[in-house]
A and B are shown apart, each in its own frame.
Chain A
Amino acid sequence: MVNSDTKVDLCGITLDNPVIAASGTFGYGHEFAELFDINVLGAFSCKGTTLNARFGNPTPRIAECAAGMLNSVGLQNPGVNKVVSEELPKLKKVYRKKIMANVSGFSVDEYVKVSRVFDKEDIVGWLEINVSCPNVHGGGLSFGTDPTVAAKVTAAVKKATVKPVIIKFSPNVTDIVRIAKAVEDAGADGISLINTLVGMRIDLKTRKPVLKNVTGGLSGPAIFPVALNMVYKTSKAVGIPVVAMGGVSCAEDVIEMILAGATAVEVGAANLIDPFACKNIIENLPSVMEKYGVKSLKEIRGLS
């Protein structure tokens, strides 16, 4: 008889298990709800949402690589008002837990405006602030690359919401620990990492980049060791919860991330390869915990 405690606490909200479907790989939940009861999830993070509707980048915006994929979708979404008026009501019919509202913006003001809208929604448990977007008022550099700018976004969003604010980090930085400390000081309730790594592929037949956007974000098992290391370093440096993601594909990966210091774990690209990935991970988790003598996930956090 498996009697493993998979419950974790993320910023004051208890999750039945640490598995959160990652933003951009789970839409607004509907495609998956057709296949299984998505209430088995710990939670899920909705598609990255901006103030206005965005089509995203031109296609092709998907490329394959060894043990992973590149995407240059470019934050396609219907805009926050439509998400709230159309997607969330549909979602509430099939999902009774909390979602993480993933917020993207191209200015501090946009982050604040989108956060204010999500703040009023009961179904939103946390705001996950994606600071990997280019800052249009800051020379196009991503908000997440500069500790000062990342702290500024954090402080501004904290003022716009009473919900826990989790800052989602880009791994494409020189010193992730400095940025983590800066957002913690600015009031962040948690950190999630890593977003995708920048990469590209070239088509030998056309001799041109496969992605129309030239570069895209690398995800999948290829990035798991990179993510694990960043989770390990960051969680030791800050006192707020770290949500780990990057190539997580099985229950063993979840336990590894928690041993590295994660409080909860997001599953991304794996959902695209197998729509049942999260469900399978959640179902396998208790027996894998038992195999490695883990009685409670909370007890092993950061033990490595």
Chain B
Amino acid sequence: MKKTVMEILKTEPLCENVFKSVFVGDTSGITNAGQFVNVSIKGLYLRRPISVCDLNGDELTLVYKVVGKGTDILSRAERGDKFDMLTGLGNGYDLSAAGDSPLLIGGGVGVPPLYLLAKRLSEKGIKISVALGFNRDKDVFFTKEFSDLGATVYLATADGSRGEKGFVTDVLPKDCSYFYACGPEPMLKAVYRATDSQGEFSFEERMGCGFGACMGCSCKTLTGSKRICKDGPVLKKGEILW
């Protein structure tokens, strides 16, 4: 973890209520795909935890949905605005478990952290598949970005307005060496039931500190209680109590 101040380069809407902000600053605290940053927003007491979507040298990309005051303020920030952040929080994904045909499964705003994972896996020459689920056509983002990395993309929308009609679990390819899933908890549970493969899930919880001190975001697992912020947000399938 590092505490640092990052400056906004640009913010652009990706689709309804979903924004992509690019920051510049010291990104050296971020050591793994699947980690998050905890962003201080002026006027609000608690920081806002947001997963790392992409890293390019000293540039950090966050993709987030506006769900309340904090993300609303962030989405309106202008070039040059500065944000105090705790960076490199959480464990991130276990890339060594990927095997030769990993599957990345994302739902809605659970998709962004999978992008850096996809990039890191493709850099290692691993052929990846990506299954994405959204509610409607106008919520869909990042399909092209994953294709550009060479990934095979499977897409589902709940109302059938794009891709297959249904949930992400309806478009999962039959075989994979390992899976990485991120999305709302009902989706993660559906994925847990739908696949026989081994894999891991990244979770979300309301956090106090984001670095393991307050015990605000604990959850029970087969290997004892874990803090989503510090021991997670990524948990292995084999340790989850569902």
Contacts and interface: CB of A to CB of B under 8 A. Distances in A.
Contact of A60 (B40, B44, B206, B214): B206
Contacts of B207: 62
Given A59-B205, A62-B216, A68 B211 contact: no
Interface stretch (B10-18, B73-81, B133-141, B218-226): B218-226
Nearest to B70: A64
15 contacts: A27-B215, A56-B215, A56-B218, A59-B206, A59-B218, A59-B219, A69-B208, A71-B208, A71-B214, A73-B214, A220-B45, A272-B209, A272-B214, A273-B40, A273-B47
B206 A61 contact: yes
A128 B89 CA distance: 31
Contacts of A47: 215
Given A67-B45, A69-B45, A272 B218 contact: no
A275 B38 CA distance: 12
A76 interface: yes
A276 B84 CA distance: 13
Nearest to A76: B215
Chain B interface bracket (under 10, 10 to 19, 20 to 34, 35 or more): 20 to 34
B103 interface: no
B224 to A, nearest CB: 9
A210 B206 CA distance: 10
B213 A31 contact: yes
Contacts of B205: 59-60
Contacts of A221: 45
Contact of B1 (A35, A55, A60, A71): A35
A76 B218 CA distance: 9
B217 interface: yes
Main secondary structure of the interface of A (DSSP, over half): loop
Interface residues of A, number: 34
Main secondary structure of the interface of B (DSSP, over half): loop
Given A62-B208, A71-B214, A275-B213, A34 B46 contact: no
B109 interface: no
B86 interface: yes
A273 B210 CA distance: 9
A55 B209 contact: no
Nearest to A30: B212
A106 interface: no
Which 3 residue pairs across A and B have the least CB separation, nearest first?
A272-B209, A62-B216, A60-B206
B3 interface: yes
Contacts of B65: none
A271 interface: yes
Interface of B: 1, 3, 40, 44-47, 86, 205-209, 211-220, 225, 230
B1 A34 contact: yes
A275 B214 CA distance: 11
Contacts of B40: 273
A24 interface: yes
Contacts of B47: 273
B214 A24 contact: yes
Contacts of A67: 45
A62 B212 contact: no
B211 A64 contact: no
A35 B213 CA distance: 13
A41 B217 CA distance: 26
Nearest to A35: B1
B218 to A, nearest CB: 6
B208 A272 contact: yes
A300 B1 CA distance: 38
B56 to A, nearest CB: 26
